[in-house]
Chain A
């Protein structure tokens, strides 16, 4: 059995977590890591990530932050010497206690993986083999590495699984998401690794489970002096758990430093932009997105990659990639010529301005006593809710709480409900068939998944024009004009009308879905988790857009989400739902600052805290 902690100098175990270690070689040192696409006919090599360098000391957690396409998962896997199909190493070193992982042959790598370096995957459900029992997969880690299987139960207990026997005998699909993730953690810590790589391990878990997993990870790292690299796009989570932070953008490390410092005074314009996009629970900050999107591998500019989107850009930025510029004694550095200026700017956040029009009291949508059951299981029980004209109401709950079902009832997709839903003074019939044209037009819906909400065979123009053609008879020119107007109002150029969905990014697709919903001038817009599948900065841009449209058109908004901090930035009123019942309702400021229901209180405690400058 390995006991890697014995290799570490005693001093490290005693040092306080706050002070960085400076003695001995770092547990992990990445030097100029470069990863390329594998050669293919007719396509030149493109670098996916380059010039990645950072270090992690034992017992410390480095947060690796980036949005989609930044290369963070690629880097994470490279730390274990693993490259997906289509990628290969192109230079640089990954040093574990001074030994270069990338230089090892495959069979040596297999000995290290799972033992000296462990990996915790993002989706525990798909990372467990569905045809093997959980026990088999756990014991495998021991048998493959020659460790003592007697410690199996201890390992499970540490990971928070108190009663291991039924779990070991079960198949993965029989466990809950939280249990699956704990099994993943147990497998990772089983052989007491020296380094652990966690790839967004809490995505898809509800906030409470997420809190427990984070606590467990932090505890285990400290106890065993394991160095950890925690990859995430969720800045709040990273702020909670990481000691140091590295920010990736388009395959480059653009900022590095102590977590508190980086988040309080970011030195790179991109990080600054990210901070302005993250919703925060404690106050109503205005969310700002960033225009444009990151360049893909193969189409990256010769100068700074962020320059096309950067508000601090100067002519010099286009010439060449900036080097890392150190801005503080603690090692805070950023890849920007103007890093020192950026970090000196105070106040990344702007408190939201008051609303232009106070929401009126006249309700546009009124839900009372609505209940739904599937077979015998109640999904919604006696739900009451009111949305006033020009008001935005959020419905918050975890998955399975029934919030999506409620949205579908309002919109007419779900017919089997009892109770009353009144819209603009008239009762709504349960299904779409029996509602009037007027009612159908005035209530519109945008769903969560931007990849399935647009017909891949239709152009954007056809998609946006479909409701218009159904509800009004317009001349060709008028019809086209309305489509163009709808596109412009969601900040898409009119030329988008000729494009097909598969040419658009996730954020652009959601805008098209919004345009389609708005082209017929509805009074109520129901949004079901419309930003959950999007990156943080894209989410902020969509929220910005929604608020602007609401102000311009006097829209009422019913916004369904599981993201509590987001509610703060977008809603006037909030309704908290759990297991089909309304726990609490009221103005956002009141409910979130002084919750009266235990469930709400629990949710608020579990949400990762985020302090900003």
Chain B
């Protein structure tokens, strides 16, 4: 029999022994799902390359195929074994770091791609960080001055820029800053693969700028929207009615709440950058993964394509895990259960 009186409840953080570890659990669970996803991706990639009409050998040799050469290449590429066995050999090889040899130039794919990962990483990280900081800052400002002229200009601008394809942005930047109007930066980078990209910063500016312009609007809009949501919430109203000064409301009350949904978008942006990098590297002839992918596709260099796609997928999984964990860390409501 329970009485209706308000029982003395235990409240607050549970004791150490009983405390669950949501962050650690999420990390483990997401990593598991991530590995599964990568596996599925590898199957998809491999299966896709298996559905060539004819087969990889004929695709490579094209017009120069004679039955003899075709057969020789098939044996070399293990194409005469059953599909599952081929997949297995391939997968095992990858887990040992052996991605095969490039069909285009005979070099080890692993080394080719490895050298370029850093270059692309520089672009992605630089653009990601700058874009995020800019987007978050502008979003907070626009929300704080909602419906002002600044807000309208920024919002309309974001809407317009979001719609532009990267190659258009890249080309416009080239027109303005490299080729036609001013000549501040090189239109095309003259890197030798293997040299550190930061050794020539002026060649980095336009590619990074392009990527930044492409992702800032997303972060800006999300930050602005969730900041506005925050500022219209009951708890901000309560803080105002307690007499809390405006700056403290913005930074201490509203911002921490607005960050959580924005983290999702920031993660999404990093993923988008992985794709955007393809076009940008192509335009600026930047020696990164994207440019390699484009040439590999033109050359139908299957091993290189497989490798790059897998690297991108691994990046996707890693970013997803990070996003989920950070998201959780920032929301006490999801992280700590009611006791």
- Asked whether any CB of chain B lies closer than 8 Å to the CB of A131, the reply is yes
Cβ–Cβ contact A173 & B332, under 8 A: yes
B192-200, B219-227, B249-257 - the one binding chain A: B249-257
B72-80, B83-91, B238-246 - the one binding chain A: B238-246
Mark out the residues of chain B between 201 and 242 whose CB falls within 8 Å of any chain A CB in the assembled complex.
232-235, 237-242
CA distance A309 to B105 in the complex (A): 90
Contact with B along A247-283 (1 / 0, CB 8 A): 0000000000000000000000000000000000000
Cβ–Cβ contact A131 & B6, under 8 A: no
Cβ–Cβ contact B13 & A82, under 8 A: no
Cβ–Cβ contact A132 & B234, under 8 A: no
Cβ–Cβ contact B12 & A144, under 8 A: no
Cβ–Cβ contact A173 & B333, under 8 A: yes
Cβ–Cβ contact B235 & A174, under 8 A: no
- Asked whether any CB of chain A lies closer than 8 Å to the CB of B4, the reply is yes
Cβ–Cβ contact A82 & B11, under 8 A: no
CB-contact partner of B242 in A187, A209, A598, under 8 A = A187
Closest to B256 in A: A131
Contact with A along B314-328 (1 / 0, CB 8 A): 000000000000000
Cβ–Cβ contact B3 & A602, under 8 A: yes
**A151 smallest CB distance to B (angstroms):** 16
CA distance A145 to B257 in the complex (A): 24
Cβ–Cβ contact B257 & A140, under 8 A: no
Mark out the residues of chain A between 133 and 177 whose CB falls within 8 Å of any chain B CB in the assembled complex.
140-141, 144-145, 163, 165-167, 169-171, 173-176
Instruction: Take A144-B245, A179-B11 as given contacts and tell me if A129 and B239 are in contact as well, using a CB distance cutoff of 8 Å.
Output: yes
Cβ–Cβ contact B4 & A602, under 8 A: yes
A606 neighbours in B (Cβ, 8 Å): 4
Mark out the residues of chain A between 381 and 437 whose CB falls within 8 Å of any chain B CB in the assembled complex.
398
A599 neighbours in B (Cβ, 8 Å): 1-4
Cβ–Cβ contact B253 & A578, under 8 A: no
A3-11, A43-51, A111-119, A318-326 - the one binding chain B: A111-119
Cβ–Cβ contact A129 & B253, under 8 A: yes
Closest to B231 in A: A85
B242 neighbours in A (Cβ, 8 Å): 113-114, 118-119, 140-141, 144, 187
CA distance A179 to B12 in the complex (A): 12
CA distance A141 to B238 in the complex (A): 11
**A457 smallest CB distance to B (angstroms):** 26
CA distance A118 to B240 in the complex (A): 11
A16-24, A52-60, A120-128, A514-522 - the one binding chain B: A120-128
Q: How large is the interface on B (under 10, 10 to 19, 20 to 34, 35 or more residues)?
A: 35 or more
CB-contact partner of B9 in A110, A179, A578, A598, under 8 A = A179
- Asked whether any CB of chain B lies closer than 8 Å to the CB of A571, the reply is no
Cβ–Cβ contact A212 & B6, under 8 A: yes
Cβ–Cβ contact A175 & B257, under 8 A: no
Closest to B257 in A: A131
- Asked whether any CB of chain B lies closer than 8 Å to the CB of A220, the reply is no
- Asked whether any CB of chain A lies closer than 8 Å to the CB of B339, the reply is yes
Cβ–Cβ contact B241 & A115, under 8 A: no
Contact with B along A563-584 (1 / 0, CB 8 A): 0000000000000001100010
CA distance A487 to B67 in the complex (A): 82
Cβ–Cβ contact B4 & A119, under 8 A: no
Cβ–Cβ contact A130 & B9, under 8 A: no
- Asked whether any CB of chain A lies closer than 8 Å to the CB of B16, the reply is no
**B227 smallest CB distance to A (angstroms):** 14
- Asked whether any CB of chain B lies closer than 8 Å to the CB of A74, the reply is no
Instruction: Take A130-B333, A132-B252 as given contacts and tell me if A145 and B243 are in contact as well, using a CB distance cutoff of 8 Å.
Output: yes
CB-contact partner of A208 in B6, B232, B233, B245, under 8 A = B6
Cβ–Cβ contact A206 & B4, under 8 A: yes
Cβ–Cβ contact B5 & A208, under 8 A: yes
Among B1, B9, B242, B331, chain A packs the most CB atoms within 10 A around the CB of: B242
Contact with A along B38-68 (1 / 0, CB 8 A): 0000000000000000000000000000000
Q: Can you list 6 A-B contacts with CB-CB less than 8 angstroms, sorted by A residue number?
A: A129-B257, A144-B242, A169-B12, A209-B6, A598-B1, A599-B1
Interface set of A (CB-CB < 8 Å, partner B): 77, 80, 82, 85, 109-115, 118-119, 121, 123, 126-132, 140-141, 144-145, 163, 165-167, 169-171, 173-176, 178-179, 187, 206-209, 212, 398, 578-579, 583, 598-599, 602-603, 606
* A-B CB proximity, top 5 nearest: A166-B12, A114-B243, A114-B242, A113-B243, A126-B234
Given A110-B240, A115-B243, 17 extra CB contacts under 8 A? A82-B237, A113-B242, A121-B234, A127-B235, A127-B237, A129-B253, A131-B333, A144-B243, A144-B245, A144-B248, A165-B12, A169-B12, A170-B11, A173-B338, A208-B6, A599-B2, A603-B4
